[in-house]
Structure 1
């Protein structure tokens, strides 16, 4: 599938003076992210061809991640003041929005010109600092948004958890590369868990379990189902996850912020489970494959 990468070559300039470089080719998401030094990234999708789903959430995610990260030189442990000054406009939501919206518009126009049959687009954003160029890097990748499976999907468990899950650090793209490479073709996602059978999230998704509740009193209007998800101190708050949270509140479905336990699934205590992500939206899970073969 073809792609378009748009990079602002003068990232410190205002949007009215922005100069964009367009690279058309077949670069994948991983190719794009890993071509830059470690930094903050996020993956977005269009809705209605030209709008970005939960754009404000994505902007805040990048700003928050950059604020929590320290982009130090290769041989240092402290972010220099000059680097912090140059990144200041990317660590503020208002100034970042002024830069981001024109870049997304330019990229979508270029991508749809190249792929006029495309209905929707996957948009990946990268912000970091290059010590070679002595300036921030600010770029976006526009590519094919695959069809969402119409049937339940299969997932595989992996004993691994992210460090600083609240930060969208591109180092995670490097760390998960081996898991992605080993993932069988019929497996939709790899789910992260620990030695205590506690389930965290997917490599690039949020994970939810559904159980039936047995504590409803007569006359209560709450749903008879409860959703379980690892608490936000342990997993990233995904943009589609926020939509699920809003729907649960609307439908009076309680969310338990506790780790779903794999042994509960094996004991038949779940009614089901599902994934959410920007590209998947919401996918019900059919089969969970574990390393012990059970």
Structure 2
């Protein structure tokens, strides 16, 4: 099947129902990113994952469950055919033929509820230098309207903030009305002080990568606080990092122009990255 691939992005439409077949589609104008593609598709739920070794993924069932849950939170009851989606995703990934891919699954909850869109682009992970030396982030006053729902309506406001980020800034960390650090625009945020780890639980979209990292942190013997650190306490932390499917565990060394610890990735962050990568090697499954 000849699939239109524009600017390293390809999109398939998968109708609801068992044994449905993915149909390639073309958007006009052609999107240059997955976020642009999502904004052009019908509004609904979305989830993002990546491939490992070109054809393996991590915890696909949890991603599909998240789509169904987000749809329910928006008042639409959808029961996806998981084996059909797995088969369609395998076909799309095989056709796209990139070394590694970023995958966006968008579930239509407005025009044709139950229709799923599979969008693929070549994966651009953080560079080895960013893992070695860390990245810079800023804080912004913002909070999701419905933190438990991963809805495409959030992508527009997130995109506006992202386009206005200072040069050299990697991510924006959202701060709630109570002054607590919540999450990144497309990541979860963690702060470390001593052997204590903070990450917000309420008011954030709890990512699947975040859950794995928390399990590894507990096994590492860290004391975990499921609450957002007050932004006023940022000068007291020793380490910080963000997580997402495409980033794994990415060290943060500067926030709002102020250094985090020694302005170098700390030992706990590095250890959690090692543990996460080992977990992926054990658990990533072929489609």
Say yes or no: TM over 0.5. Answer: yes
TM-score range, shorter chain: 0.7 to 0.9
Quote the offset at 1:98 in angstroms. 2.0
Pair 1:58 & 2:63 matched: yes
Q: Helix, strand or coil: the match of 2:115?
A: strand
Partner of 2:42: 37
What does residue range 69-108 of structure 1 map to in structure 2 within 5 Å? 69-70=74-75, 88-90=78-80, 95=81, 97-108=82-93
> In the aligned structure 2, how far is the partner of 1:255 from the partner of 1:67?
30
Aligned mate of 1:256, from 225, 242, 245: 225
The count of residues paired between Structure 1 and Structure 2 equals: 246
Q: Structure 1: where are the runs of 5+ without partners?
A: 72-83, 113-117, 213-224
> In the aligned structure 1, how far is the partner of 2:32 from the partner of 2:91?
18
Quote the offset at 1:5 in angstroms. 0.8
Pair 1:120 & 2:123 matched: no
> In the aligned structure 2, how far is the partner of 1:57 from the partner of 1:12?
19
Quote the offset at 1:19 in angstroms. 4.7
Pair 1:280 & 2:247 matched: yes
> In the aligned structure 2, how far is the partner of 1:196 from the partner of 1:7?
41
What does residue range 125-164 of structure 1 map to in structure 2 within 5 Å? 125-131=105-111, 136-148=114-126, 149-150=130-131, 151-164=133-146
Partner of 1:270: 237
> In the aligned structure 2, how far is the partner of 1:153 from the partner of 1:65?
31
Higher-Rg structure is 1
Partner of 1:13: 17
Partner of 1:217: none
Partner of 1:47: 52
Q: Helix, strand or coil: the match of 1:47?
A: coil
Contact 2:31–2:37 (8 Å) recurs in 1: no
Pair 1:208 & 2:190 matched: yes
> In the aligned structure 2, how far is the partner of 1:228 from the partner of 1:191?
14
The alignment's TM-score, normalised by the length of structure 1, stands at 0.78
> In the aligned structure 2, how far is the partner of 1:21 from the partner of 1:4?
8
Q: Structure 2: where are the runs of 5+ without partners?
A: 1-6, 259-287
The alignment's TM-score, normalised by the length of structure 2, stands at 0.79
Aligned mate of 2:199, from 229, 232, 235: 229
Quote the offset at 1:36 in angstroms. 1.9
